[in-house]
A and B are shown apart, each in its own frame.
Chain A
Amino acid sequence: MSITYRTPARNVPAVRDVSLEIPAGRITAIVGGSGGGKSSLIYGILRLLPPRTELSGSIFYDGTDLVSTDEEWMREFRWKRAALITQGAMNSLTPVLTVGYQISEVLQVRLGLSRREAEKRTLELLAMTNLTQIHARKFPHELSGGEKQRAVISMAVSCFPGLLIADEPTSALDMITQAEVVTTLVGMVRDQGMGLLLVTHDLPLANSVCDDLAVMYEGRIVETGTPSKILRSPSHEHTRKLLSAFSFKGGARP
């Protein structure tokens, strides 16, 4: 598929003829440098691109082409089939509503739970990421970055989507919190048998958790395979660049 942003000045081709398979129940990571088109790709999958952005090609989910479905079908699709965790998550919760309310709202509106059922379920979901009633009653700005991101993970799995899409879910966090959130996320996905599409620029992180790896550069997927194969013998120059950038910092990581 391809995605082209239309700006007054010019057209920006952000994703070019990408063909990628995301197997159910496995963890697929997309790595690549800034501006490579990773975020565009996943917003394209959820059809949440800005208006007048051109999306062409096809995206199959369980045999249905998402590009040709209508908006109402997509609304029903979102969160129940594919949920999203974004970069930072700092701004992914509505600031004036409590965390508990926002999770319970999804449960009520999307799954038709009663208010009491939804509130009970919210606490169970929060418990899965080691959060409690106290956190449920708080507003987003009253949580730490790590807590917020865990709340977002709880919310993302609330409708048991087949696929979880995470766009740099840890890039705004410190190293220790990063590890904590990734462990929570991966544990959750493995427990529930969900697929995970993990977007990151952190190659060692991708390597340590994913089953399949894809490298994206200038809107194209330039390399795919198992992480061990790609790290042992990178075939594209961008992959080598990413690798060397990290060997400076993290060296000892596998």
Chain B
Amino acid sequence: MWSYWSRRALGAVAVLLLVIAANFFLFRVMPGDAVSTIVDPRFSPEAKERLRELFGLDLPLYRQFLIYVRRMLTFDLGISFLSQRPVWEELKSRIPNTVALLGSALFLSSALGIWLGVKAARRRGGLTEKLVLVSGSVSFSFPSFFVQLVLLLFFAYTFPVFPLRGSVSIPLPEGAFARALDYLWHLLLPVGSLVLLGFGSWAIYVRNLMVKTLGEDFILLARARGLPEGRILWNHAFRSALPPVLTIFLLALPGIVSGAVITETVFSLHGVGKYLLDSIMGHDYPAAGAAFYILGLLTIVSNLAADAAYALADPRIRVGRRAQR
């Protein structure tokens, strides 16, 4: 049990350091990196000073790295070149939007996909199964920005039922309830598009797993006990298939970064992903590095959450012993 968790925690720390290290070196080798910017005459003396301060550029490399790690861990993310404001101040307000977008998209697409996958596995060769398999493969083979642009054109331009851009209306509507509604209204199309693009792989994967599980002996025995079909399906079959289902949660997580960047950019949402892209476009290195770091952090945290759920779902891990035969 403890060894399982310490392994997971160590893994998370290692990934975190990897993200920080990647950031550290990436923004040093890119054309127009911090070092060459220092000597670049187009940069103002203040910007150069800020860079020197942020990266500790006159110190040896390992010292620079240590300083960088400490800054990242304390969310001292530097000052943005573009806005001249602390990056953390700018990112703070964006994190909830990104979490709301990706969290609800991940939740809804997995819930829909799981439900459809289980239904499809229940009757082999039935209409539901065919529909799920076809819609599922269509869903996950489309390029996301294309689908999102088409949706945006159709539902926000041709038939303007949804807003064309932004996370909130400007000016903000009066009252907390009206504001919440306004927020949801802005979120609906981006989340809807992600669900549309995401449910397919869940549905197909869950359907395959469930077909396999429903063929197991213990399902036949549950049927012999005269348990109702719904109980067998969810409490016995799905419950047994849950640990592997959770592993694709893990596989889906790296998509967070690209999902955030593309979706937030297409729908002009006030989120971390769009900030990352804007910063890269504007050669705003402290900002871009910080946004990348925050997205990495979000991924690591969700990774740990999925691991915890996996351990709870699989008693063979929970008790820290391997299954005997």
Q: Which residues of chain A have a CB within 8 Å of any CB of chain B?
A: 46, 48, 75-80, 83-84, 86, 90-98, 105-106, 109-110, 139, 141-142, 155
Contacts and interface: CB of A to CB of B under 8 A. Distances in A.
A92 B225 CA distance: 11
A139 B316 contact: yes
Nearest to A71: B229
B112 to A, nearest CB: 23
6 contacts: A75-B226, A83-B224, A84-B224, A98-B315, A110-B225, A110-B227
Contact of A91 (B218, B224, B225, B314): B218
A94 B236 contact: yes
A91 B213 CA distance: 12
B323 A141 contact: yes
B218 A93 contact: yes
**Nearest 6 A/B pairs, CB to CB:** A91-B217, A78-B226, A92-B221, A139-B315, A141-B323, A84-B224
A90 B325 contact: yes
B193 to A, nearest CB: 35
Interface of B: 216-218, 220-228, 231, 235-236, 239-240, 242-243, 313-316, 319, 321, 323-325
Contacts of A106: 225, 227
Contact of B315 (A92, A96, A155): A96
A86 B324 CA distance: 19
A155 B243 CA distance: 26
Given A141-B324, A142-B321, 17 more contacts: A48-B220, A48-B223, A75-B226, A95-B240, A96-B239, A96-B313, A96-B315, A97-B236, A97-B239, A98-B315, A106-B225, A106-B227, A109-B228, A109-B231, A110-B226, A141-B316, A141-B323
Given A91-B216, A91-B218, A142-B321, A96 B224 contact: no
Contacts of B222: 94
Given A92-B218, A96-B242, A79 B319 contact: no
A250 B100 CA distance: 71
A222 to B, nearest CB: 28
A27 B66 CA distance: 78
Given A78-B226, A139-B319, A84 B240 contact: no
A84 B221 contact: yes
A93 B239 contact: no
Contacts of A97: 235-236, 239
Contacts of B224: 46, 48, 78-79, 83-84
B140 to A, nearest CB: 28
A48 B222 CA distance: 11
A86 B236 CA distance: 18
A20 B296 CA distance: 68
Nearest to A165: B224
A165 to B, nearest CB: 9
Given A90-B325, A139-B319, A141-B316, A95 B227 contact: no
Contacts of A78: 223-226
A94 B319 contact: no
B221 A76 contact: no
B200 to A, nearest CB: 26
B160 to A, nearest CB: 49
Contact of A79 (B216, B225, B243, B324): B225
